[in-house]
Amino acid sequence: MIRNQLLVCAGGACITSGEKSVKDVLVDELKKNGIEDEVQVIETGCMGACDLGPIVVVYPEGTFYQKVTVENAGLIVNEHLVKGRTVSELLYSEPTSEKKAQTSGDIPFYTRQVKRVLRNCGVIDPLSIEEYIARDGYFALGKALEMTPDDIIGVVLDSGLRGRGGAGFPTGLKWKATRAAQGSPKYVVCNGDEGDPGAFMDRSVLEGDPHSIIEAMAIAGYAIGAEQGYMYVRAEYPLAIERFEYAIGKAREYGFLGRNILGTSFSFDIEIRIGAGAFVCGEETALLRSIEGKRGTPSIKPPFPAQSGLWNKPTLINNVETYANIPQIITNGAEWFRSVGTAKSPGTKVFALAGMVQNTGLVEVPMGTTLRELVFDIGGGIPGGKKFKAAQTGGPSGGVITPDYLDMPIDYDTLKEIGTIMGSGGLIVLDETSCMVDVAKFYLGFTVDESCGKCTPCREGTRQMFHMMEQICDGKGKDGDIEKLTKLGKCIIDTSLCGLGQTAPNPVLSTIRFYEDEYRAHIYDKKCPAHVCKHLLTYSVTADKCVGCTACARQCSVHAITGEVKKVHVIDQSKCIKCGSCYEICRFGAIRKE
């Protein structure tokens, strides 16, 4: 008889912070106390609050233990499970009030979320198909098989679901076009390439709730008339691949994949294709070439994959998060789906909250949630009392949201209006210590590396833009650079072959739009206002603060600092390499950085 269940988060972040050893300690301690038959340990998918990991939740109480280590994991068994005493040192305490939270229901990070896509992540054992079924899994497939394909597509259209990979194209239209297309066989593909730096919602769904994607792909197969599906997932996601592979095996065993599913004439199966990690393979045409075993380069659209995709056959391709919505739409209906979100962007969106924010991790909120709610209410604000400067969305294809837009409801269309994109949901918070020119240069550097080289505007254009950004950050910016960057950026957007090039200039154009003064400070005043760009910094000694302790002179590796004991020291600017070590070592705050 089981009296308690311990749910241990086995998401990527918790595994990295030591989940496996924590779990081993729990299992050992249970055995030592002879209660291993009464207490069950279950590993789940990502619970979302990644900076609190490893996380252990004790049921039936729902007690939420965070930052559990090998040293203190034993307390959960010896105190909580044996003696009935909550281990208060492992509870989460609210940073402002220092109030201890007993369950996840007491933590604002969780209470403000609406979990649909992530509803099973962190709740069920991803390796258990039975637990997925217990949470209404595969009932949507059963229901779909009793509907006509056109009715299913009608429900998806009515739901207003838009592509969660970033572009926001209406999912129902893709399904309709693929069903209507001539050609046989047809294919269903899931895009699990997820290349945006910082975004990991697709990985979390594949790791934490793999059956939801299998079910959705089978429904899609029935709706468009396909018998074969491909799951394309990047090689950097070994755990997602392992769990998805296992889930496919279980689904076959239970007859949700294979011949004559649920006793009908419908047959469908899925194979995994592993990508080698090229960013461009997240672009649908490049992804399809990669599945075919060819080099992953994009091709001109039209023809769209719906008409001519995999092996030139009609192909439906959707992103992981998009598919994750499908079973619930079929089960609960289009109206239910529209009950949260905005009129043009119904439903929820998962964001990967990162950067200069207290609570990082995966959060799922209704579309139309404001940035203020995301960063301050859920994210807990900026650490160290620093000022919020901007949020970067859409990764290397997106731009920034400034403090002026903190109260704007976020959806596909509002973000587009201010020059950024939803993207796959990466949301990186920047504070006053971030240089916007440097941030834009970072993202541009990423796309320069990841450009496949097929079309000239993207291959050469982004490189030229990157060169100019480097010059600006190095203090070699010239009058006219801002105008040139803008012109070249717009030209690359207009003339590139695929989405990668068409969005690559966004980080630069967006930061020029909102932070032109920072670009001007770099170019004309040769200053970096945020003190990030090394070449634009000057270190000098404030005479009345310097006590002549000689610490800086001894620290300086290029002997740029001279001065006698107990006398004011001087930095020779011609020798200084701006490493900042004098600034770090001075105990009197006498080194000035500007």
Partner 1 sequence: MKSLEELKRIKEQTLKEMDLRQAKERGKVIVAMGTCGIAAGAKDALMAIIEELEKADIHDVKVVQSGCMGLCDKEPTVEVAMKDQPAVIYGDVNDANARRIVREHVQGGNVVADLVIKRENI
For residue 102, the minimal CB distance to partner 1 (Å) is 11
Shortest approach of partner 1 to residue 133 CB, angstroms?
A: 5
**Residue 88 vs 312, nearer CB to partner 1:** 88
CB of 267 to partner 1, least distance (A): 14
Identity of the residue, 42 or 363, whose beta carbon is nearer to partner 1 in the bound complex: 42
Q: How far apart are CA 35 and CA 56, in angstroms?
A: 18
Contacts of 245 by beta carbon, 8 Å cutoff, 6+ apart: 272
Question: Helix 238-253 crosses helix 201-208 at what angle (to 10 degrees)?
Answer: 40
The answer to whether 296 and 170 are in contact (CB under 8 A) is no
Catalogue the E-assigned strands of 367-459. 388-393, 400-401, 426-431
* Nearer residue to partner 1 within complex by CB, 83 or 587: 83
- Min dist. Cβ of residue 128 to partner 1 (A): 8
When the beta carbons of 52 and 124 are compared against partner 1, the nearer one is: 124
- Nearer Cβ to partner 1, position 146 or 479? 146
In angstroms, give the least distance from the CB of 120 to partner 1.
11
Neighbours of 592 (CB within 10 A): 14
Both tokens of 130, joined, read 């039975």
Q: Give the angle subtended at the CA of 128 by the CAs of 36 and 353, to the nearest 5°.
A: 100
What beta strand segments (E) does 269-380 contain?
269-275, 315-319, 348-355, 361-366
| Comparison of 256 and 446: residue with beta carbon closer to partner 1 | 256
Check: CB of residue 68 under 8 Å from CB of residue 10: no
Is the distance from CB of 296 to CB of 278 less than 8 angstroms?
yes
Compute the Cα dihedral for 556, 558, 564, 569 and give only its sign.
negative
CB of 135: closest distance to partner 1 in angstroms?
A: 8
Q: Which residues contact 101 (CB under 8 A, 6 or more apart)?
A: 64, 91, 92, 93, 94, 107
126 vs 305, beta carbon nearer partner 1: 126
- Whose Cβ is closer to partner 1: residue 84's or residue 293's? 84
Question: Residue 6 is encoded by which pair of tokens?
Answer: 């311990």
- Would you say 259 or 387 has its CB closer to partner 1? 259
Q: Which is nearer to partner 1, 123 or 536 (CB)?
A: 123
Residue 95 or 255: which CB sits closer to partner 1?
255
Query: What angle (nearest 5°) sits at the alpha carbon of residue 182, between those of residues 179 and 186?
Result: 60
CB of 246 to partner 1, least distance (A): 17
CA 347 to centroid of chain Cα atoms = 18
Q: Which two tokens stand for residue 222?
A: 């029935």
Q: How far is the CB of 132 from partner 1 (least distance, A)?
A: 9
Min CB(250)–partner 1 separation in Å = 11
CB 115, min distance to partner 1, A: 14
Alpha helices in 281-319, H assignment, sequence order: 284-291
CB of 142 to partner 1, least distance (A): 5
Distance CA 180, CA 289 (A): 23
Distance (Å, whole) CA 373 – CA 409: 10
CA distances from 384 to 380, 381, 432, 438 (A): 12, 9, 11, 22
Return all residues near 389 (Cβ < 8 A) that are at least 6 apart. Answer: 402, 403, 430, 431, 432, 434, 436
Tokens of 542: 């404030």
Residue 298's SS3 state is: coil
State which residue, 215 or 431, has the beta carbon closest to partner 1. Answer: 215
User: How far apart are alpha carbons 336 and 314 in whole angstroms?
Assistant: 30
Decide: helix, strand or coil at residue 148: coil
Looking only at the bridges linking them, the beta strands covering 361-366 and 348-355 are antiparallel
230's tokens: 């491909």
Q: How far is the CB of 336 from partner 1 (least distance, A)?
A: 20
Binding residues (CB under 8 A) for partner 1: these are: 1-5, 7, 38, 59-61, 80-85, 123-124, 128, 130-131, 133-134, 136, 138-139, 142, 254-256, 262-263
Give least dist CB 196 to partner 1, A: 32
Give the nearer residue to partner 1 in terms of CB position, either 123 or 220.
Answer: 123
Nearer to partner 1, 263 or 385 (CB): 263
Cβ at position 323, least distance to partner 1 in Å: 20
Residue 336, Cα to own-chain centre: how many angstroms?
Answer: 26
The answer to whether 278 and 242 are in contact (CB under 8 A) is: no
